[in-house]
Amino acid sequence: MTGTIEAKLKDIGLDLPEPAAPVAAYVPAVEANGLLHISGQLPFDPQGELMTGRLGESCDLETGQAAARACATMLIAQMKAALGDLDRVKRVVKLGVFVNSAGDFTDQAKVANGASALMQQVFGEPGRHARSAVGVPVLPLGVAVEIDAIVQVHEA
C-alpha cells in the first residue's frame, strides 16, 4: 500500500533515485533514540551525473538551488531506504547545508532554500526545519552542494 508521503511524491512528480552508496568509511544513515542521522548527500542531475562547481565562479544561484534540491531528493531516498516507509518521518529537524563558494559569494542561505522548499513541499509542516548554510572552499568530488540531515521518526 502506498503511504501518504509516497502519494505526495507521485503527485508532485518526484521519482526517488537509488540511494547513493557511501564513498568512504561510513554508513548512509543511523537511527538512534528516535532520530535518523543522515550522512551528507551529494547532488546528482537527472542523468545521474554529479553537479559540480563553485557558487560565485562556475555556478550561478539557480544552479546552486537545483543542486540543493538534488541533495534533498537524495536525503529523502536515504530516509526511505533506512526507514522502509516515509510515513515514519515525524519531522525534519535540521539540515546542514554546505555550499562550495567563492570567497565573495554570500547567498548560501538562498542556495539552501532549494532543499528547504522541497522538504516542506513533500512533508508539509513537519518538513519545516532548523538549518545551517555554510560556505566552504571545496567539497568532496568538487560538488557544488552537500547536505546532511537529522530527522525525527515514528517507531516502526
Residue 37 lies in a domain: no
Q: How many domains does the chain have?
A: 1
- Model confidence band, residue 1 (pLDDT cutoffs 50, 70, 90): very low
Residue 117 lies in a domain: yes
Residue 35 lies in a domain: no
pLDDT for 42 beyond 60 = yes
Residue 38 lies in a domain: no
pLDDT for 156 beyond 50 = yes
Task: State the pairing for strand pair 35-41/29-32.
Answer: antiparallel
Task: State the pairing for strand pair 89-100/145-153.
Answer: antiparallel
Mean pLDDT, residues 61-81 taken together: 98
Q: What is the CATH number of the domain that holds 70?
A: 3.30.1330.40
pLDDT for 25 beyond 60 = yes
pLDDT digits (tens, 9 = 90+) for 85-111: 999 999 999 999 999 999 999 999 999
The domain in which residue 74 lies consists of: 4-15+44-153
Model pLDDT, residue 23: 84
Q: Is 58 helix (H, G, I), strand (E, B) or coil?
A: coil
Q: Which residues contact 25 (CB under 8 A, 6 or more apart)?
A: none
Residue 39 lies in a domain: no
Residue 60 lies in a domain: yes
Residue 147 lies in a domain: yes
Mean pLDDT, residues 15-22 taken together: 94
Model pLDDT, residue 2: 59
Residue 28 lies in a domain: no
Residue 87 vs residues 7, 11, 32: alpha-carbon distances, Å: 10, 15, 18
